[in-house]
Amino acid sequence: MGEFVVLAGLGGLIFGIVNLVRPLGRLHIETRAQAGAAVAGSLVVMLIGGALLPSEDGDPEATVPTSTVLSPVPTTSLASATTVPETTTSSVGSSTTTLATSTTSSSTSTTTGDGTLALDLLMTIPVELETPDGYDRDLFPHWSDEDGDRCDTREEVLIRDSGGTADVGSGCAVTTGLWYSVYDGVWLDRATQLDVDHVLALKEAWDSGANEWTTFQREQFANDLDDPHALIAVSSSSNQSKGAADPSNWLPENPDDQCRYVVAWVIVKARWELSMDESEHGRIRNLLTGPCEGATLDEGLPVRPPPPITTTTLPTSTTVVEGDADVVIANIVYDAPGNDVVYNDSEYVVLRNTGIGTADVGGWWLVDEKDHRITIPSTYSIGPGGELRVYTGPGDSTTTRYFDGRGQAIWNNSGGDTATLYDESNGQVDTYSYSS
């Protein structure tokens, strides 16, 4: 409306000005005073019309108050919108995923210290049918020396789990120490009594998704020293009892270790993005809502109790259990009569420790009636109830077998012989005679 008022005033203004200059016939204004009044009135009309015009900001009634203007909704990724246990971030499960993110130390990726429930992590693991076809243990290259320190993965675990008591010889050969096997709750002092167990068996991993991994990924899984839940030194008997079973078919016989074992199982499954079958998932869920209710991820690591016996470290860095060792010559296996040539394991002496302590037999020596001597290297020891076979001929020595490398037999194959065992101080330990 203001526009029309302004236009009307403008028309009156023009009309008044013209009549001030010259009369316009019938429409003229009689006097100049009247024309001036018309001009003044027109100006007033224009001012009123200008006041009625809308402002530059528009109609205030049509403007949304600033307090009600909606800002755009921010885009939020699932990672930031949903709290997921850190263990589910490891990217290993498919063959198209690089392994770099999966080798993060599990001390930060799975054991958060924030009281995360193992049950919550379990519920993130998919339940799927297993795919067992095509499994071969060789598809998982294991016991690698990934850091190049001459200690393979098995030896690294034995050293780690010994609590600093392992005796490590040349070539990183672990011989003795003191280990606690959490599966059955027993103490062991010889490396030969132990297996290094994949908590999640290689076959179980294959059945649960590792069949889709690259060989490199399977090797990383089989040698996972970054995650302290993945590998553990336990008694050979308990490891053989477990085999490739999952928790629906096997749990540690030590009742104090069962909940810890289940938590560790869940952590490893989640870390490597492997699935569970229905019975496995159901059994673990029942445990975590029953006898293991409230178990957190912090409870997945084995606890090494104080040793039941003290240990003494010898000057040679060989750790032995305090107590009396009693080494005897238990037997002599000699070559067949008429043949003086030895081939590998055809002739050997059996040394047995019948005492309760570990015997360091390095530097001890055997001698026959004709003064043929075999000296045992310094790295050897025999634990309680253990044996060491001392072979005359050539072969590959281990922690329980020493091959002297001779090409000819020394134990008489006709008429018999006597073997005498001396310690490193030349003190006689035992003798053994036989007749053929």
Domain boundaries, the chain: 2-61, 80-300, 323-434
Q: Which of 410, 403, 344 is nearest to 375 (CA)?
A: 403
CA 332 – CA 190 distance, rounded (Å): 23
Contacts of 4 (CB under 8 A, 6+ apart): 49
pLDDT at 11 over 90: no
| Mean pLDDT to the nearest integer, 334-339 | 58
CA 149 – CA 164 distance, rounded (Å): 17
- Report the SS3 class of residue 20: helix
Tell me if 63 sits within 8 A of 245, measured CB to CB: no
Note the pLDDT of residue 436: 63
Of 33-42, 174-183, 207-216, 228-237, where does mean pLDDT reach its minimum? 33-42
Note the pLDDT of residue 198: 97
Q: Which residue has the tokens 């073997």?
A: 419
pLDDT at 104 over 70: no
| Mean pLDDT to the nearest integer, 358-382 | 91
Q: What is the pLDDT of residues 262-299, one digit of tens each?
A: 999 999 999 999 999 999 999 999 999 999 999 999 99
Note the pLDDT of residue 82: 30
Q: Which of 317, 330, 308 is nearest to 381 (CA)?
A: 317
pLDDT at 392 over 70: yes
Q: Which two tokens stand for residue 362?
A: 């390095």
Contacts of 379 (CB under 8 A, 6+ apart): 167, 169, 170, 173, 175, 362
CA 322 – CA 384 distance, rounded (Å): 11
Q: What is the pLDDT of residues 115-154, one digit of tens each?
A: 899 999 999 999 999 999 999 999 999 999 988 888 999 9
pLDDT at 313 over 50: no
Note the pLDDT of residue 28: 56
Kindly tell me the burial class for residue 89, based on how many C-beta atoms sit within 10 Å of its own C-beta (0-12, 13-18, 19 or more): middle
Cα torsion through 194, 200, 201, 203, rounded to 10: -170
pLDDT at 79 over 50: no
pLDDT at 339 over 60: no
Residue 248 pLDDT level (bands cut at 50, 70, 90):
very high
Note the pLDDT of residue 330: 86
Of 130-134, 206-210, 425-429, where does mean pLDDT reach its minimum? 425-429
In this structure, how many other beta carbons lie within 10 angstroms of the beta carbon of residue 258?
A: 17
Distances 174 to 152, 158, 370 between C-alpha atoms, Å: 11, 7, 35
DSSP 276: B
CA 310 – CA 80 distance, rounded (Å): 52
Residue with the larger pLDDT of the pair 304 and 420: 420
Residue 21 pLDDT level (bands cut at 50, 70, 90):
low
Residue 333 pLDDT level (bands cut at 50, 70, 90):
confident
- The fold of 323-434 is Immunoglobulin-like (2.60.40)
CA 265 – CA 277 distance, rounded (Å): 13
Residue with the larger pLDDT of the pair 379 and 274: 274
pLDDT at 25 over 70: no
Note the pLDDT of residue 306: 83
Of 106-115, 247-256, 331-340, 402-411, where does mean pLDDT reach its minimum? 106-115
pLDDT at 24 over 60: no
Highest mean predicted confidence (pLDDT) among 155-164, 200-209, 300-309: 200-209
Residue 19 pLDDT level (bands cut at 50, 70, 90):
low
Residue 32 pLDDT level (bands cut at 50, 70, 90):
low
| Mean pLDDT to the nearest integer, 426-432 | 90
CA 258 – CA 208 distance, rounded (Å): 22
pLDDT at 370 over 90: no
- Report the SS3 class of residue 371: coil
| Mean pLDDT to the nearest integer, 91-109 | 33
R_g over Cα of the chain? 45
Residue with the larger pLDDT of the pair 155 and 14: 155
pLDDT at 49 over 80: no
Note the pLDDT of residue 288: 97
Q: Which helix (H) or strand (E) holds 73?
A: none
